[in-house]
Amino acid sequence: MKTTKIHVYTEDGTIRLDIFASEKTGITRSQVQKLIRDGLVMINGVTASPGNKVKTSDVIEISMPEKSGEFLTPEDIPLKIIFMDEYIAVVDKPAGMVVYPAAGHSGGTLMNALAHYSSKLASIGGKLRPGVVHRLDKDTSGVMVVAVNDGSYYNLIEQFRNRTIQRKYVALVAGSLKEDSGDISLSIGRSQTDRKKMSTRTRRGKKAMTHWRVLKRLNKATMIEAKLDTGRTHQIRVHFAAVGHPVLGDVTYGKKTDIDINGRKVHIPRQMLHAEKLEFVHPISGQIMRFSSPFPDDMKACIESLTSLPSS
């Protein structure tokens, strides 16, 4: 039996236990509901009941039967490690790589690769995602940090929760933004029509803030820099889709995979979103750590094509 402990913070608000636990653990609501019925979920040491809601400062404990073969298998997969010591690993994730094993992706992930490069990883975060304190979507490239030991995991989680970690993304979005900079402050929650998607039109949205500025105006597209105050799922993709400028190549929220410029098509191979910069405090030394990732080739090619083709 594996027990997962989850703390409820103020920003989580008041929400049904099954929804909260599903969002925090990644298992389905029906699975959570079964665990509740089987008496395997507790709130503050008391067995939970169906329909319970969580509130600030609650401690949720979920006991789940161990699955045979549920462990992280090291795989010899090329992985660009920018920095690594006995406390943290900073990696440059390529587009197309999933961060950790899940349904449909049992191997070939960033964590499978990292387990090959490091014999020691944090024990917290789950057997298949030890030390994962944040993640990038499969088709998003760029820099991210993983905790290598438990102390670093808790420290980095706290930095993310306090919003002191600085993240800068670069994206190519459809169309021309009217202003040179701005903020998008639409709340984000699970879509009411498609549970696999996030939406700004939801009854249970959480506060989300994206600051952006134009880096370059392209043909029928704009290259922007985005900074996040919050880290909601798919935040940049959802926010820009909501204001009518979806990320190019995002088949979930925009479906803009080709741009026609005077009869010439520019193909967009994947969502053009890149985690360019990451800044945080080292969990042990207290030193400010700054890392960056150069644009991947496919993104550079798109920028060049959208720059070189005449617009009229």
In which element (H, E) is residue 30 found? helix 29-37
**Residue among 63, 45, 54, 59 at smallest CA distance from 19:** 54
Which span out of 5-9, 171-175, 230-234, 264-268 was modeled with the highest average pLDDT? 171-175
Per-residue pLDDT at 141: 98
Q: Is residue 279 exposed (0-12), middle (13-18) or buried (19+ Cβ within 10 Å)? A: middle
Q: Hey, how many other C-beta atoms are within 10 angstroms of the C-beta on 280?
A: 22
Q: Which CATH architecture has domain 166-308?
A: 2-Layer Sandwich (3.30)
Tell me, yes or no, if the two domains 2-64 and 80-161 fold the same way: no
Q: Give me 168's structure tokens.
A: 């800068």
**Which structure tokens are listed for 290?**
């700054």
Catalytic residues: 137
Give the per-residue pLDDT at 105.
77
> What's the pLDDT tens digit per position in 7-61?
888 767 788 899 888 888 767 788 889 899 889 999 999 999 988 999 999 999 9
- pLDDT, tens digit, 9 for 90 and up, residues 246-282: 999 999 999 778 888 878 888 999 999 999 999 999 9
Measure the CA–CA gap between 96 and 298, rounded to whole angstroms: 12
- Provide CATH code, domain 80-161: 3.30.2350.10
* DSSP E strands, 21-140: 41-43, 46-47, 53-54, 59-64, 80-84, 88-93
Q: What is the CATH number of domain 2-64?
A: 3.10.290.10
Range in 52-61, 96-105, 176-185 the model is least confident about = 96-105
| Predicted model pTM | 0.78
Most confident of 28-37, 100-109, 160-169, 197-206: 160-169
Out of 31-40, 106-115, 116-125, 173-182, pick the least confident. Answer: 116-125
pLDDT 10s digits, 160-169? 989 999 999 9
Q: 158 Cβ partners below 8 Å, 6+ apart? A: none
Q: Is 23 left (phi over 0), alpha (psi -120 to 50) or beta?
A: alpha
Name the pLDDT band for 68 (thresholds 50, 70, 90): very low
Name the residue ranges covered by the structural domains of the chain: 2-64, 80-161, 166-308
